[in-house]
Structure 1
Amino acid sequence: MNRLFDKSIVLACCIAAALGLAVDARLVAAFCLGVVVASLAEIAQGERARRASEAASYAYIMVAVFAPSFAPFAPLALYDIARRVRREHVWGALGAGAIFVCALVAYAHAGALPARALLLTAILSVAATLLSLRTAQLEREQERMRRTRDELQERALVLEARNRDLADRQDYEVELATLAERARIAREIHDNVGHQLTRASLQAEALRVVHADEPGVAADFTDVKRTVDEALQLVRASVHALNDNATDLSVQLERIVEDARSDGGPQIELEVLAEHAPANIANCFAAILREALSNTMRHTRAQNVIVRCMEHPSFYQLVVSDDGTGAAKTNSRGIAEGMGLGSMRERVEALGGTFTAGPRAGAPGWRVFATVPKQQGDDAR
């Protein structure tokens, strides 16, 4: 837009410089060719088209050297030559300008053009060149500012992403601390209050036996024992509920993945879509994932590990797959069947689920697949 505005001003000044000339076919042709050359410079796309446009501008200057009628519109071509001046091509532009100045001097001596037209053409040629150079510098500054703006926006997006990661990490740490505190409270209640109530129940039973020959006293101790047993059951239920709340599947799996990640190790991708699984299923899946990642680190040269834990309408599912390759992989995995894989299978089958482990179908790597029914998992306490 800036160059269109500049060229409009230059063209208007060129027309003013040519007002004193006789309007003939050569002047009209000079005007039309000047406008065409100036327009080609604006619509040229691609390196080849730009070079052709630049060559047309130089050709127009050369024609103006031999045809006086073209001289008043030469500043349009000089404007386009100046816009593409580079250090390696500056001598060509300076040579074309010097030749054009010599042509104007020759026209002045020969009287081919009026002095007014020659003076305006010379002044306009210098002004058009300076205007083009100024606009080129302005465009470079605008481009630099756009790049700076894009870099700042990119940095802002990166910082925003880091802030989100930090916020998520902070939430994770808070949740982890909360769950750890719940587990500690559950242990304290179980170890202290639970044991004291159990002791009180045994003492009440012993006193009831000692005073068996005193029906009234024995009945009182029976009531005391019943009350203590009820309190013990309530404490146990509360401890189990608190312990279950302290077991979060997503937090457990995330903790295991974080511990397994290392600079030289595989990239581990984790997706958990089952945050409220029962404690026994969460502990089972955590043990399976820990053993599966351990096998991957020890027995394969995997680059990527994908962990998916999902909750379906009737069952929970855990899938651990890697792209590990290596000659020792099959043998190592086969030996592990009697130890790690066997332990994983026993854990899943104890909850009524199914467990499979073996090479991935149609792709290199290993796949561990475990499912546990919801009803079986929820009832097994």
Structure 2
Amino acid sequence: MVLTFIGVLANIFTLGKDLFPLVALFLVSFTISSRSVLNEKLTKLLINTRDNSKELTTQLVEKNKAMQRNQDYEIYLATLKERNRIAREIHDNVGHMLTRSILQLGALSVINKDETVGEAINDLSGTLNTAMTSIRSSVHDLHDDSIALKPAVEDCIRPLKDRFAVSCDYDFSERMSRDVKLCFIGVIKEALSNTAKHSDGDSIKIIIREHPALYQLSIADNGSCSEKIDESGMGLANMRERAASLNGNINITSGSKGFRIFLSVPKQNLTERRS
């Protein structure tokens, strides 16, 4: 196109000044045409950039969700491993001792001739059998794949006890769903990690409460923070996504009164998710 333009100009100049109006018109037309082509290219570039940005954002969201699922699974495996260890120790130690005691009482009952002693043996044998049934039930419950929230929270705060005085206040039933427990554990881990990195305080308060319509979690330290919260940080984004996945609300603040998190999860939405 440029070569054509130069060729046309050369021909015009050889023909004389009378064709200058035609030159001006040609220049205007050429400029408009060039801008149209340039605008078209820029529009295509903008569309491609926007599409690529959307695709990258989608990939980032999916990777973040996958990371959260992996974190939840690690929590689940660690909890299940500890529960199985306790169940195995109860079965191998207490269970075996009870079994041996029951067998010894049975043998003693066979050779006993005293009626009064026999009644005592029967009573003791019944008590031991009841204890054995209770132990078996407890071992079975420990092998269940549910998450024990309180021990999991204790595991989260244990590494911080050298630096912080950590207090926990619990008021919830064991009917709390596994999803809520995993959400609370994940938020607590992220919050404690943030406190360990940035807080100049020396105490942390964790409260978990159950209300008729919702569950609540609050975490607060007594440090002071003059820096504004980085809303784009991965840790805060993870907490917000966990809350959103259960249709919950989360409020995160920092300042002279410390770093504070308040999370609420409605029970109604949990019921709908299970149905």
Q: Which of the five TM-score ranges fits, normalised by the shorter chain?
A: 0.3 to 0.5
More helix by share: 1
Which gives a bigger RCO, structure 1 or 2 (Cα 8 Å, sep 6+)?
Answer: 2
- Please, what TM-score do these two structures have when normalized by structure 2? 0.46
